[in-house]
Amino acid sequence: MVIKRPNPFTKLALILFFLVITTFNPPHLGLADEEDPDFYDLDETPPILSNVAKSSKTRLLVSHYKRIRKGMRCHVEGYNICNGVWANNKTSLLHCCKKHCRNILGDKNNCGRCGHKCGFGQRCCGGVCTYVGFNPSHCGKCNKKCENGVKCEYGYCGYA
């Protein structure tokens, strides 16, 4: 039995292909991460903390967790601090997904609910997986509207 060695040019072509694919990440294809803030400023006190008796420990927790870091662990000192909490003037809705705070209105891996992933070319716009390549209301990214009569093509308004 003779084993044929692969052509070195084939190897090189495959390496270059994967290098280009992993480094080239055009935003109009929906592959780049949405511009999500590093911190969420809570619009309200987390319900679990507002229902707890106002001891000095809970007052400290409430004042400390008015601002939550993106991806922060949910369970702090026995309390779930981001379960259904609105943030950033009602533009973010935080839920505890796999022990971390996630914005289910804009996280493509937890869109609308924990664990619901958006497909290729989609972004999570307001909790709904949306194809942004040809959608005139979400052209290239969420909430980027094209002018009346202008088509959204390949993530750009009036591409052609």
- Tens of pLDDT along 91-108? 899 999 988 999 999 999
Q: How far apart are CA 62 and CA 42, in angstroms?
A: 11
Residue 17 lies in a domain: no
Q: Is residue 100 part of a domain?
A: yes
In a domain, 78, yes or no: yes
Q: Mark whether 98 and 158 lie in a shared domain.
A: no
- Better-predicted residue by pLDDT, 49 or 122: 122
Residues 131 and 98 in one domain: no
Confidence grade of residue 137 (pLDDT, cut at 50, 70, 90): very high
Tell me which H or E stretch contains 10.
helix 8-23
The domain total for the chain is 2
- 75 pLDDT exceeds 90? no
The pTM is what?
Answer: 0.64
9 falls within a domain = no
| Mean pLDDT to the nearest integer, 6-13 | 65
Q: Tell me the C-alpha distance between 138 and 115, whole Å.
A: 23
Residues 124 and 91 in one domain: no
Q: Are residues 92 and 62 in the same domain?
A: yes
Q: Which long-range contacts (CB under 8 A, 24 or more apart) does 157-160 make?
A: none
Q: Could you tell me the residue range of the domain that residue 112 belongs to?
A: 31-117
Max CA separation in the chain (angstroms): 79
* Backbone dihedral angles phi then psi of residue 65, each to the nearest 5 degrees: -105, 40
Task: Give the rounded percent of residues in the chain with a pLDDT score beyond 90.
Answer: 36
- pLDDT(146) > 90: yes
* Residue 95 and residue 139 share a domain: no
Say if residue 35 is in the same domain as residue 113: yes
118: confidence class by pLDDT, cuts 50, 70, 90: very high
Instruction: Return the percentage of the chain with pLDDT > 70, whole number.
Output: 62
| Amino acid type, 64 | H
Q: In the β-sheet with 85-87, what is the strand arrangement from edge to edge?
A: 85-87, 92-97, 100-103
